[in-house]
Structure 1
């Protein structure tokens, strides 16, 4: 009896120690993403330098005056990284919105209706999954034309299948739950039960996937920008900044390393936030 009674006292400090880590595991990545969003929306609040005008000698190393140094034409790299957030992050948000809306709609319809509709929609999803993401995005961006918006739509198309499969699997599992059957037995209509009971209990993993896909979309848009399919120069975009500095890696490392670090931090923050939404900190 004594051993059993003392067990909660041993476990309680452990749970208390986990709580601050869990909070910081959500707060820190959320702050990183918030700063990146503020860069994208209000870049002038963070720098007074122009991202496209020459402000100093070329290839100056990072200093108190130019935190990220200057590029090959004397433009302030810190200002270009900040203004580039509007291209990379807002483009990624468009991409996630395309995949989330279209993919979730396909998955919900397939899972809720079933039958031939489910079969047809899932075969479309299988076709999308069979095409490599980079190849599919390149094909779409070539059809739509170069630019950030075209790149964002192209990246969004590549994520439709992922959202559709997850949404369908959640709807199918919730659709056979006892409370859904009870709702139908109480006279609930198909759309009423779908809206009130199935969707609210199915979309939490989809939202977590959206946070995860935001990081993936930033990487894919940066990749397209690196390859020259994104925003045209001199418009700053994170992938383009890395591409512009690749010829100066030996003499001006900051041109690729510092924008690359920013991309990595934002992507890691979105991944960590996705884990927090899924409840990974509760383990």
Structure 2
């Protein structure tokens, strides 16, 4: 569903006004992501209490005094979920940046230079793709040590190959376009043509992939936290919160269901936003 909003008047001679399409389906995902971002950046504003200290009786069901209930030691679950966004959401941003920067650099270099350089780099990418992502991230975390930052770096390394393959394919497709050949024919140097013509016309799908990978990174970091390789207790982290509540599923369902619902909402919102970006690019 879309709404047609009339664009501002355009100067004379520039053609008729075109409607600006606002996708109603992106409103809720954007709101969810803005809330998660606000939680991650300013957790004390939304949950001023301590996420590691007991504030009431243990295993209280959700109520007005404890919106998401309390855990087995009496800590407010809402406070822990809000403060956990700083670990999970910001960790996912770091992971995406690692994959985006390193993977795009490899892919653009391979696609723009070609030849033996392209063959060598893409064979290295194939090696990364051959290793299961969770196994690779676990191996890196074990080498670097436990913690959210190390988990984020590990998850980012696993996404380098995906960014590299996409950016390389986009650069190769644009590299042979007529306007690129015309730019070279007009005296443009390699780096000038790359910066002015190839990159602006090839990186939009990569940005859409970054939005999609953000949700995947949250899931992977939460998985590492669930397995005990993320932030150490009692530091709140979304995967760790779910792991702490798994022994109380029958008696205190909110300990796993509500943090899991937050993770699912954020991941689905990033997926929806990435589809919108990709659709707009098409």
TM-score in same-fold range (> 0.5): yes
What's 1:115 paired with?
A: 115
When you count helix as a share of all residues, which structure comes out higher?
Answer: 1
SS in 1 for 2:159: helix
Displacement of 1:20 after TM fit?
A: 10
Task: Tell whether 2:178 aligns with 1:178.
Answer: yes
Q: Find out whether 1:213 has 2:213 as its counterpart.
A: yes
- Where does structure 1 lack aligned partners over 5 or more consecutive residues? 1-12
Please state how far the C-alpha of 1:31 moved relative to its aligned partner: 1.4
CA distance in 2, matches of 1:14, 1:218: 29
Contact kept, 8 Å, 2:62 with 2:70, in 1: the verdict is: yes
- 1:149 alignment partner, SS class: helix
Q: Distance in 2 between matches of 1:84 and 1:14?
A: 34
- Flag structure 2 segments of 5+ consecutive residues without an equivalent: 6-18
Provide the residue aligned with 2:87 in structure 1. 87
- Whole-angstrom CA distance in 1 between matches of 2:132 and 2:123: 16
- Which residue of structure 2 lines up, in the alignment, with residue 49 of structure 1? 49
Q: Map residues 53-72 of structure 1 onto 2, 5 A cutoff.
A: 53-72=53-72
After superposition, what is the alpha-carbon deviation per residue over 1:43-85, rounded to whole angstroms, capped at 9, x for unaligned? 1111222100000000000000000000000000000000000
**Number of corresponding residues:** 269
What RMSD over aligned residues (CA atoms) do the two structures have, in Å?
1.9
- What is residue 6 of structure 1 aligned with on the other side? none
Change (3 A) 1:245 1:175: same
Match of 1:232 in 2: 232
TM-fit CA distance, 1:212: 0.1
How far off is 1:23 after superposition?
A: 2.1
Task: Please name the residue that 2:164 is paired with.
Answer: 164
Return closer, same or farther for 1:104/1:14 CA change in 2, 3 Å cut-off: closer
The residue number in structure 1 matching 2:14 is none
Instruction: Quote how far apart the aligned CAs of 1:16 are.
Output: 5.3
CA contact (8 A) 1:25 1:276 kept: no
Output aligned runs, 1:1-283, within 5 Å: 22-279=22-279
Change (3 A) 1:149 1:14: closer
Check whether the contact 1:63–1:69 (CA below 8 A) recurs between aligned residues: yes
1:14 and 1:42 mapped to 2: Cα distance? 33
Tell me if structure 1 keeps the 8 A contact 2:47–2:83: no
Q: 2: CA distance between counterparts of 1:132 and 1:253?
A: 32
CA contact (8 A) 1:275 1:281 kept: no
Instruction: Tell me if the contact between 2:3 and 2:23 (Cα under 8 Å) persists in the aligned partners.
Output: no
Cα distance, 1:62–1:14 mapped onto 2, change above 3 Å = closer
Shift in Å, 1:185: 0.1
Give the structure-1-normalised TM-score.
0.92
